[in-house]
Structure 1
Amino acid sequence: MLRVRAARRNDIDAFVKLAEAAGTGFTSLALSRDELAAKLERSEAAFASTAGRPQELAYLMMLEDTETGEVAGCSAVKDAVGLSKPYYDFKIVTLAQSSKEAERRFDMDVMLLVNDFAGCSEVGTLFVGEQVRGRGAGRLVAQTRYLLIAADYDRFGPHVLAELRGVVSEDGSSPFFDNVTRPFFRMSFDEADRMSAAAVDNQFILDLMPKHPIYVDVLPEAARAVIGATHEQGKGARALLEWEGFTYNRYIDIFDGGPLMSVPTRQARTGRESRLMTVAAGGGEIDAIVTTDRFDDFRSIRTTVSLDGQSVGLSEDAQRALNLASGDSARVWSRT
């Protein structure tokens, strides 16, 4: 059985392997071992906290096989971004160009550096290893994030954001970065990516990025073609986000041009459709995702259940995986 659980400090070796497997362009994992270890420590503190409002905490979760104990994936939820560390993106806006004398009227898109999402929550760091792909792992990890949020909406911001990886080649090159960002940063994509992931305040972005609009029409075709486009490995994640209700509103990543998507926090489909139920012995044939609905010892599994009024029937294996017993509360999202 696959289980998502709160990350622990002793996950560091597995976390490093996941970061290496994720490869170039996965900004949130483009970190050293010490930096990844620090992420785990901060996540433990976040899950142990009793935060009643967004405090720039990050909740990191691991996907594991309950039979082997192997960690095969990860994901994270940040309760707030853009406060102490600006959350920079390019916003694409349309300007009207007109001249009576020249008898011309047309529109042109420009990109502006913005920090429009201060105080919003963010889901990210979603990665699953090849060994569990095709087993519903990606969907379990993705949907679990919204069930964690639903466990205490007061901890999170008014909207949830998701940045998708843009088009980056296997050799680490990015058409968008090479033609748009590199001239201002004078460094490689990997260098800029790592600095962004590790920077305390992202001041280097404000220092080096252009202070004026960038006209899309004057960019090379290679750069224009990937604006708002998703990396091949991220297309499934984008489909899941759209299923949840996320929309793309012309905000893109400043390094690879990947899309930023968002949804009102309480409108994310999985959380909105979930409900609190009382655990009972049993099981059934209804496909469901079940969580402990608490931040201490948070766990989530995908299993088959029976539903009877306010009760959810769980098998012994499912109860054991969640560390729940009959009479306990659980949050349930089902396909019914």
Structure 2
Amino acid sequence: MLRVRAARRDDIDAFVALSDAAGTGFTSLSVTPDVLAARLEKSISAFASNAGKPTESTYQMMLEDTESGKILGCSAVKDAVGISKPYYDFKIITLAQSSAEADRRFDMKAMILVNDFAGCSEVGTLFVSDAARGNGAGRLVAQTRYLLIAADYGRFGPHVLAELRGVVREDGSSPFFDHVSKPFFRMTFDEADRLSAASDNQFILDLMPKHMIYLDILPEAAREVIGQTHEHGRGARRLLEWEGFTYNGYVDIFDGGPLMSVPTREARTARESDRFEIATGEGDITGIVSTDDFQNFRSVRTAVTVKDDKVLIPAEAQAALELGEGETVRVWRSQS
């Protein structure tokens, strides 16, 4: 059975392997093994804490095959961004241009560098290996993030953000970066991506232009990818839209990928979830069941049946959750 659980120290080798498999442009995984190891340490402390409020912590989770013990994917939730480390994006704005003398009236779009989402939470680092794709694993990993948030809303900000990977060519370059950002950074897309993931982003404030960038003067190759999602991220975007996320004209400063957001308590999986006591039995609909406990967080996708204040789940799912009858879980049930 596949389950999602809080990351452990001994996941480091698998974490590094997932980072290597993700490839160029996957910013949150484009870091060295030392940085990944440090993330695991910080995540362990975050899960063990009783914060009760956002503390700029990252909760790292792993997708695990309980039979083999193999790690097949990962995801993370940051409880707050943009506070000690700026969370920069380009915001696309519309400027009204008019001249009575020239008899002209039209709108122009421009981008400005902003840190508009300081204090919001972020879901990200969602990656599933080829071996696990096609059997609901990606959806389990994605939806579990909102069940974690629902376990203690007080730890998270007013909105949840998600940055989607933008268009990247087969050679690893980005048309948006080449024409928009590269002239200011004087480095490759991969170098900028890795530096952003590993640093406090001061270099962005130091080097990025302080003035607006007009979209109309950009080459078509750059304009046509603004707000577009990498082909491998289209499924993730559809799932975000299903959760209630919307795109409101914010894009990544390196690849032009879209930033999407949703009010924290409106994310569909969390909003539609309920707490029940466990009972043993066979289910009649598909659900995702989580422990609803930060210190021992786990989730599985399994068949469930709700009867009064109890949820019937198979013994195998209880074993994967490391819980038994009478204990409390959080359940999201498929509506189809």
Say yes or no: TM over 0.5: yes
Q: Per-residue displacement from partner, 1:215-264 (whole Å, max 9, x unpaired)?
A: 00000000000000000000000000000000000000000000000000
Match of 1:35, as an amino acid? Answer: V
Deviation at 1:283, TM superposition (A): 2.2
Decide whether the 8 Å contact of 1:24 with 1:170 is kept in 2.
Answer: no
Aligned residues: 335
Q: Which residue of 2 aligns with 1:132?
A: 132
Q: Which residue of 2 aligns with 1:111?
A: 111
- Quote the Cα distance in structure 2 between the aligned partners of 1:110 and 1:251: 11
Deviation at 1:170, TM superposition (A): 2.3
- Quote the Cα distance in structure 2 between the aligned partners of 1:178 and 1:28: 20
- Quote the Cα distance in structure 2 between the aligned partners of 1:296 and 1:277: 19
Match of 1:151, as an amino acid? Answer: A
Q: Which residue of 1 aligns with 2:213?
A: 214
Match of 1:269, as an amino acid? Answer: R
- Quote the Cα distance in structure 2 between the aligned partners of 1:54 and 1:21: 31
Report the secondary structure of 2:242's partner residue: helix
Match of 1:279, as an amino acid? Answer: I
Q: Which residue of 2 aligns with 1:8?
A: 8
Kindly report structure 1 stretches of 4+ aligned residues shifted beyond 3 Å: none
Q: Per-residue displacement from partner, 1:263-289 (whole Å, max 9, x unpaired)?
A: 000000000000000001112221000
Match of 2:123, as an amino acid? Answer: V
Decide whether the 8 Å contact of 1:90 with 1:251 is kept in 2.
Answer: yes
Match of 1:152, as an amino acid? Answer: D
- Quote the Cα distance in structure 2 between the aligned partners of 1:320 and 1:278: 15
Report the secondary structure of 2:187's partner residue: coil
- Quote the Cα distance in structure 2 between the aligned partners of 1:284 and 1:204: 53
Structure 2 residues not aligned, in runs of 5+: none
- Quote the Cα distance in structure 1 between the aligned partners of 2:57 and 2:207: 28
Q: Per-residue displacement from partner, 1:20-59 (whole Å, max 9, x unpaired)?
A: 0000000000010101000111110100000110000000
Report the secondary structure of 1:296's partner residue: helix
Match of 1:227, as an amino acid? Answer: I
Report the secondary structure of 1:251's partner residue: strand
Q: Which residue of 2 aligns with 1:30?
A: 30
- Quote the Cα distance in structure 1 between the aligned partners of 2:207 and 2:305: 57
- Quote the Cα distance in structure 1 between the aligned partners of 2:52 and 2:302: 31
Q: Per-residue displacement from partner, 1:133-190 (whole Å, max 9, x unpaired)?
A: 0010110000000000000000000000000000011211100000000000000001
**1:203 lines up with 2:202 in the alignment:** yes
Report the secondary structure of 1:168's partner residue: coil
Decide whether the 8 Å contact of 1:160 with 1:262 is kept in 2.
Answer: yes
- Quote the Cα distance in structure 1 between the aligned partners of 2:170 and 2:120: 32
Q: Identity over the aligned pairs, expressed in percent?
A: 73
- Quote the Cα distance in structure 1 between the aligned partners of 2:90 and 2:173: 20
Match of 1:298, as an amino acid? Answer: F
